[in-house]
Structure 1
Amino acid sequence: MVGWGDIVNEKIGQYWGRVKQYWNKYSKKTKITLIAAAVFMILTVGIISYNLSKTEYSTAFTNLQPNAAADIKAYLDQEKIPYKLSADGKSIGVPTAQVAEVKIAVESKGLNKGGNVGYGIFDQSGSFGTTDNQFEMQKLNAMQGELQQLINSNQAIANSKVLINIPEQGVFLSKNEEKASASVVLEVKQGYTLDQNQIDTIYNLVSHSVKNLPLDNITIADQYGQYMVPSKADGSPQGSTRVANQFQVKKQFESDMQRNIVNLLAPMYGQNKVVVNVVSTMNFDQKKTKEQLVSAPNQDEQKGLEISVQELQKSASSDGATAGGVAGSGANDVPGYESTSNSGNSKSEENQKTVNYEVNRITNDIIRAPYVVKDLNITVAIDTKSVNGNPGKIENAELLENAMKGIVKTALADSGVEYEQADIDKKVTIIPKELQSPSSTTASNLNNYLLYGGIGLAALALIAGTVFALRRRKKNLLEEEEEYITNGQQQVEYPTIDIENVTNDNQVRKQLETLAKKKPEEFVNLLRTWLVDE
């Protein structure tokens, strides 16, 4: 008896034999192509399936405080929302499709406050049974929390800590009222910096939020202990702001000069054939000078304008003088002596003229330029090959060099230093060089894209060619079978096995091998018949 398992194994053997027979028809090259295509398709399907099946996470919360992160994590666990927690515990990611929903839910529950409790604490708890000291402490904590929330709203600040000191009010009024003070520590995010305007804004927020708190009583520092100074502390820009402004002026000056030189040389040597580098040194010391000048309106006579004239004339005459008075009785006479007496004619005149002149009075308050160019170096590179095909030579090189020297000399005119011509010559450099065109880089990138695209198209073409070859081969086989059947060709008869007339075992074995190779189906049926007979 033949069991069901034997029949199944026999069927599997038949199918496997057909597959091997069909596979052996192809050449080695075709087999390698088919295997590569199959592996490629399996990998592609696997990658696509993996990407479609995995959950994509997006960051919903960053720079969280430990207590806020713990509250949000507890909420996500309660709602059974999958999440990813960063290694430092400050960022939480949720599925991309649920980011907006989770953010709204967390904010509505007030879980992302980071421990900064504002004035909302008075809505959550009543003041019944609270002493004055407790109420003042809650009010101070609420004020500090509100300030922290205001400061944390800045994109560059991850977290902040505010400490306010409000003096106690005395029983009696005092003329010298104590002022409040505040200290702020800022945790600036990695990669961010606070400019002077942002620092001033934080100072003003703190100063205007607390009664009787001047800027001088506020101290702000970052997480590294670096003190941040307000620009209004002494009425002038401080530290980083002044340096940033000076750097911006220097950069703008060099950029403008570089652009002007390129615009000058481009028409002569061609667009994108000139490269200019400008390096300058500037002095930003400001000088204020006050001049008081006096000059005559009438430059020819060097006289001023007469605004008032006063003339006084006096004349006196007498015919003689007689002795008078008691001797020694005058006011200036010595007692006991007789006074002298004058006789004869006398005449006197006195002329006095006073003229007030008006002159030009000029007062000049001179403030020099905010910067002076102390040194300037210009380097110009010319693409000589593209100009005349002769590398190493520049057309009108002497004219170009003189023009650059003139620019340097003009820029250094106000430097206060007298430069010799040899010094000016050292500040200009002309370089003849074959420059790489910007289009070459673009062409290189384009070639890379074309290469990658060609590889992809070749892979697609290989797969398509393989499929087409298989279909064509199958179609040809079907056509050959139909033609064979249509033409009525007789099948080749293979020798049958005559066991009764065969005396040699080798002949039986050879006939069985021949039958198995030429007609495998009949060979299987023969074996089945033998098994049934036995």
Structure 2
Amino acid sequence: MNESIRQYWNKIQAGWLKFSKKQKITLIVIIAVIAISLTTLIHYFSRTEYALAFTDLPENDAAAITEYLDASKTSYVLSEDGKSISVPRSKVAMVKINVVDQGLNKNGAVGYESLKESTFGTTDREFDVKELSMMQGELEKLLNSLDSVQESRVMITLPKSSVFLTDSEMEKSSAAVILKLRPNFSLDQQEVDTMYKLVSMSVKNLPMENITISEASGEPLPYSKVDGALNTATAAAAIQFQIRKQFERDIQSNVTRILNELFPEGRVVPIVIASLNFDKKSSEENLVKPVVDDKGIAISIQEIQENYSGEGSPAGGVAGTGETDVPTYPSDTATTGKTTSEKVQSTINNEVNRIHNVIEKSPYFVNDLTISVGIEPPGGQPLDENLKISIQKLLKGVVSASLANTELVLTDAQLEAKVTVFENNAIKSTAADTGNKINWLLLGGIGALAVLLAGAAGFWLSRRRKNQIQEMDAAPTVIAYPTIDMDAESSETQVRKQLEMLAKKKPEEFVNLLRTWLVDE
């Protein structure tokens, strides 16, 4: 055995000595490259490829999962922040299933599954504490299941049970929630209200006003319908903005549809700016109006008539001595005659129309409207002035109809100031550029198609020529002789001229033609 090894070694040495120095260096380099390549390939194909199995793990869950992986002797890679765990790609699914089965990934919350670990002899106080903790954990899981929430913490305060009657306010629960949102996520008011409802429905006797939700940065997330005047105003402003934009879009689409009947599509660009009044006003009127005959209906009539007649008595007193008499003024000593008096009094109460009006002005009416339209005339020509005036009249009609509910009476000059029609050169240049691009593309496509057709035709002609040559080589040679129409021209002079021409230009064919005639005869 040793002798054979020695012989092989001697042969190797003898062969090695035959190589020159350059050949030896080349051989060593080749062997080294092959060895390094094999080592790299073996390492690449035999290395363990890891894939992310868990991300954004709380510290408790990360500790529990790594402990399980160590116990199951599964290799893993823990990220620097301790929140992500990678396992071999082939074991990702199995590890996830086992972790969920053992309840290790709790998202930092302990829910009702901890009841399995309860021991015999638990006191009521301990059970109440555990029940509260489990309720908080279930709420945290519920909130963490939302796409925008990365982590949540919930603190619930339950009222103490008592056998005595207590104030109803003391029997209500309260809850505080802190949310940590995922990166690049934000909550709108509807999502916040949904969270309030989820928390309120999950805890007994928990009204909305006893719930506080805030972000991890400390920014509150109030409920829109509880002490949320600011939120309500913000939501109303957003709704008003949407209504205004929708109104502008409707006017714009209507104007575009009308003008597209006159111009090709894409040559009209309307710009609409509207101002809407969202004030809701209510007023009351108490009106008193007469009936049709302006007199009314007599509901009560009272007439009084007095008549008096009698003899008069002489006036008494001393002239000029009374308290009210003028001194030295003579008094009336004459007697009065017969006295007669009559008094007629009539009172008529007429009923009138009493009108009580309660007027509520509906919001969402147009306060102001401005329409500007850019038009590209067809054919690159200037916009016709008569057509421009017609379009302005049309737009003024739209503005006038939209402002019909306003109390202002707009003149024709005011309406004209709210309407603008102009030539849009930007559309023209854009259309020209687009047309040039389309022409170039069209020409390029036609050229490519022509090249393909020419190539196909050349290939077909080449194949056809080759086939014809092969058929001619395979088939016997058949000579076609030109025929002379003897019936068309019976003149001997014409026949002689044709024969002379054939003899001069193609003597061989002329000889063959003579032979053919001789054979036929």
Q: What TM-score results when the alignment is normalised by the length of structure 1? A: 0.56
1:397 aligns with 2:388: yes
Q: Which amino acid aligns with 1:217?
A: N
1:388 aligns with 2:374: no
Distance across 1 between alignment mates of 2:86 and 2:248: 46
1:246 aligns with 2:240: yes
Structure 1 segments unaligned to the other structure (5+ residues): 14-49, 321-343, 455-534
1:64 to 57, 69, 72: 57
1:137 to 129, 145, 168: 129
Q: Which amino acid aligns with 1:228?
A: L
Shift of the alpha carbon at 1:443? 7.0
2:269 matched to which residue of 1? 275
Shift of the alpha carbon at 1:51? 12
Q: Is the 8 A contact 1:295 1:361 kept in 2?
A: yes
Shift of the alpha carbon at 1:192? 2.7
Q: Is the 8 A contact 2:222 2:228 kept in 1?
A: no
Q: Residues 462-481 of structure 1 correspond to what in structure 2 (within 5 A)?
A: none
Q: Is the 8 A contact 2:148 2:185 kept in 1?
A: yes
Aligned-pair identity (%): 36
Q: Is the 8 A contact 2:288 2:352 kept in 1?
A: no
Q: State the secondary structure of the residue aligned to 1:399.
A: helix
1:122 to 103, 115, 133: 115
1:5 aligns with 2:15: yes
| Residues 251/55 of structure 1: CA separation in 2 closer, same or farther (3 Å cut) | farther
1:112 aligns with 2:122: no
| Residues 375/110 of structure 1: CA separation in 2 closer, same or farther (3 Å cut) | farther
1:156 to 148, 152, 158: 148
Shift of the alpha carbon at 1:82? 7.1
Shift of the alpha carbon at 1:270? 0.6
Q: Is the 8 A contact 2:383 2:423 kept in 1?
A: no
Q: Which amino acid aligns with 1:5?
A: G
1:190 matched to which residue of 2? 183
Deviations 1:331-370 (A, max 9, x none): xxxxxxxxxxxxx999999987666x4735343240421x
Shift of the alpha carbon at 1:121? 2.2
Distance across 2 between alignment mates of 1:88 and 1:438: 58
Q: Which amino acid aligns with 2:132?
A: L
2:213 to 201, 220, 229: 220
Q: Residues 348-387 of structure 1 correspond to what in structure 2 (within 5 A)?
A: 357=351, 359=353, 361-369=355-363, 371-384=364-377, 387=378
Shift of the alpha carbon at 1:122? 2.4
Distance across 1 between alignment mates of 2:69 and 2:259: 66
Q: Which amino acid aligns with 1:366?
A: E
Q: Which amino acid aligns with 1:243?
A: A
Distance across 2 between alignment mates of 1:260 and 1:79: 70
Distance across 2 between alignment mates of 1:442 and 1:204: 60
Distance across 1 between alignment mates of 2:414 and 2:142: 61
Distance across 2 between alignment mates of 1:318 and 1:402: 82
Shift of the alpha carbon at 1:427? 5.9
Q: Which amino acid aligns with 1:154?
A: L
Q: What TM-score results when the alignment is normalised by the length of structure 2? A: 0.57
| Residues 310/374 of structure 1: CA separation in 2 closer, same or farther (3 Å cut) | closer
Q: Is the 8 A contact 1:379 1:431 kept in 2?
A: no
Distance across 2 between alignment mates of 1:407 and 1:59: 62
Q: State the secondary structure of the residue aligned to 1:268.
A: coil
| Residues 77/406 of structure 1: CA separation in 2 closer, same or farther (3 Å cut) | farther
Q: Is the 8 A contact 2:132 2:156 kept in 1?
A: yes
2:478 matched to which residue of 1? none
Q: State the secondary structure of the residue aligned to 1:231.
A: coil
1:233 matched to which residue of 2? 226
Number of paired residues? 381
Deviations 1:316-338 (A, max 9, x none): 99999xxxxxxxxxxxxxxxxxx
Deviations 1:262-284 (A, max 9, x none): 11111211112223333344443
Q: State the secondary structure of the residue aligned to 1:106.
A: helix
Distance across 1 between alignment mates of 2:434 and 2:71: 59
Shift of the alpha carbon at 1:415? 5.9
Q: State the secondary structure of the residue aligned to 1:198.
A: helix
